[in-house]
Amino acid sequence: SYNTVGIKTDIILISSVLFLHADELAVICQRELKSNLKKKFQCVFEGIAKQGNPTLLNKIYTELYITEGGTGAVNNEHELRQIETTTRKQARPETAIKCNDIFKPLTGQDKPIRTVLTKGVAGIGKTVSLQKFILDWAEGKANQDVQFVFSFPFRELNLMKGENTFIELLNHFSMETKQSRISNYNMYKVLFIFDGLDECRLPLDFQKNKICCDVTESTSVDVLLTNLIKGNLLPSALLWITTRPAAANKIPSGCVDQVTEVPGFNDPHKEEYFRKRFSDEDLASRIISHIKTSRSLHIMCHIPVFCWISATVIEHMLKHKRKEKPKTLTEMYTHLVVFHTKQINEKYLGKEETGPHWNKESIQQLVNGNLIFNEEDLKEAGIDVNEASVYSGLCTQLFKEECGLYHNKVYCFEHLSIQEFLAAVYVFLSFINNNENLVDKLQTKDEPEVTFYKSAVDKALRSETGNLDLFLRFLLGLSLESNQKHLQGLLTKTRSSSQSHEETVKYIKKKIRENPFPERSINLFHCLNELNDHSLVEEIQNYLSSGSLSKAKLSPAQWSALVFVLLTSEKELDVFDLKKYSRSEKGLLRLMPVVKASRAALLSGCGVTEEGCASLVSALDSNPSHLRELDLSNNELKDSGVKLLSDGLENPHVNWRL
């Protein structure tokens, strides 16, 4: 009848108006969201810039290529080791991805990418890459097919208590969506960014959590996240998750479409950073030149945060015409802490100090392993919260103050290396001032200084993951009087003798000779560098420069020195030719860490047998290993060796060819 037709027409008209209204709301919401995200992410804060002089992200941003990262397998190595390995691995052009292209399928990929997991060590640039992606979207420069971008830092998700619907969770983090009252996000292309999976304190129980498919169902944040990641909630949404390597396995591999990695700055990136950082070209060139004189500093500049640390310290020293500029990590971090402590004292406390006066008990609490602390943690550590706020400029170097959605301040170390430096300072002071050996509490008081350092070396070597490697380098570096003079405000006495120094060096060389695993000796060479002893390395460099290395009969210590020299060389290790150094299987076994760090290894005619094949398969199956090609022609592998290699090829985690 006419009435029926009229009613149907009215319903269609009302529905059209509602849809039009919803679209208008979405446009308004998107406009407000972009405006607010632009304000939030257009600036970065370095040093005490937060007190007034922010830097535009677009001005200082150095393009970081993200690389295809293989699997989400966990890597338990200390991040320092991962940095040193990654510096040898140059990204091939076909695997490099710009941050704005993170959801574009790679060549040969047909399946659309829903979830990306990006790995990278602390300070490598994961968060800044996210900020640049968001800023470019907000400014209309990239990814305009995405209608909404929402960012959820895990450190803030940790604070969410009780049950919420997904819409309530989203509205909590985004005032724009709350005002627009949008609820049907399946109608739009939405990206959710989750930064800092390694900081997540939620269980993320993908096996036991109940299924939730409704954005209006009230449940725990943990259930909401696992269902969003599994695709039960908003299956059409895009997800980008960042993490440090050790936490990569918190998300099942089946829930991730692509794993990527932020490898940090390559050499051109380092120069670009310093030239953008300083408008004075001469100053930038002098800083770059100095960084290149120290291989250990140059390697650490692979991390953007360390580039900033180096820039801060060396700029200060050049402006004050200081002749001695830091060449070791201990020198760099000592100058950083002393300089910024004095700067904060003068600017905010109206006094000048000769050195930092920290409460050692506070340091002990802060170095227990957490990177993030709230106000309660600081109070328990005996730190005045108001004083911590005054020191928030210094906190960007030591621990920085952040204000989240809950308006409660969170303090976190800018980089784990600063935390480990403070740990070394605390342990060092406990021994020097109180004769207390915190490294080995079984040791008696009044023990010789060299016994203290020996116990630290032994404890670091016992760690399979190398979690004490950087701590040991700092601790041994602090044994030098040249570094102790900067800590006069903390030292009640100095204990540094040439005899103790010589005995410590001798002990480290003994451990290098005794260690059957060359990769475990690499950090000991860094320790010798902190102690200003370069004798073993210089021996090998003389062999290399004279071209007589392949004929020389090397000692175990010299083989380890060769591994160290090759892994820390400026020359790219894309293809490793064993014959340049040795034509024997013994040489292959000794240089296996170098083989693992190379893309291709030429082992033709080097006497490789079944034993060498077994070591190669083991190396290829390890994490990390960058080896993709092997030339094993003209070797007596026998059937047993070939079978080992064949079985290795069938391993799904191994990607290489003979």
Domain harbouring 632, CATH code: 3.80.10.10
Q: Are residues 151 and 270 in the same domain?
A: no
* Same domain membership, residue 56 and residue 174: yes
> CA gyration radius for the chain?
28
**Counting Cβ atoms within 10 Å, is residue 226 exposed (0-12), middle (13-18) or buried (19+)?**
buried
Residue 631 lies in a domain: yes
CA distances from 363 to 479, 609, 629 (A): 19, 53, 48
Please report the pLDDT score of residue 378 as a whole number.
64
Examine residue 315 and state whether it is found in any structural domain, yes or no: no
pLDDT at 3: 53
CATH code of residue 194: 3.40.50.300
**491 occurs within a structural domain:** no
pLDDT of residue 632: 94
Mark residue 373 as left, alpha or beta (left: phi above 0; alpha: psi -120 to 50; beta: remaining): beta
What integer pLDDT is reported at residue 45 of this predicted model? 63
Examine residue 376 and state whether it is found in any structural domain, yes or no: no
Residue 300 lies in a domain: yes
Closest to 560 measured CA to CA, from 530, 515, 601 = 515
Residue 530 lies in a domain: no
Domain extent for 292? 266-310
Whole-number pLDDT of residue 6 = 52
Residues with Cβ within 8 Å of residue 199, at least 6 apart in sequence: 153, 154, 155, 158, 371, 372
Q: Are residues 157 and 279 in the same domain?
A: no
* 175 and 147 within one domain: yes
Q: Which residues of the chain have pLDDT under 70?
A: 1-22, 45-54, 69-77, 81, 85-95, 340, 343-375, 377-414, 443-444, 494-496, 623-624, 651-658
Selection from 245, 242, 221 nearest residue 158 by Cα: 221
**pTM value > 0.85:** no
If asked whether residues 110 and 237 sit together in one domain, one would say yes
What letter represents residue 328's amino acid? T
Residues 270 and 246 in one domain: no
User: What type of residue sits at position 17?
Assistant: V
Residue 202 tokens read as 């939620």
In a domain, 68, yes or no: yes
The whole-number pLDDT of residue 182 equals 79
Claim to verify: residue 47 and residue 69 sit in the same structural domain: yes
Q: Are residues 85 and 199 in the same domain?
A: yes
Q: Is the same domain home to 166 and 118?
A: yes
- Whether residues 220 and 283 share a domain: the answer is no
Number of domains within the chain: 3
Per residue in 424-456, pLDDT (tens digit) is 988 998 898 888 898 887 766 778 899 999 999
Q: Are residues 139 and 198 in the same domain?
A: yes
Residues 172 and 281 occupy one common structural domain: no
Q: Report yes or no: 79 and 244 within 8 Å, Cβ to Cβ.
A: yes
Whether 490 is in a domain gets the answer no
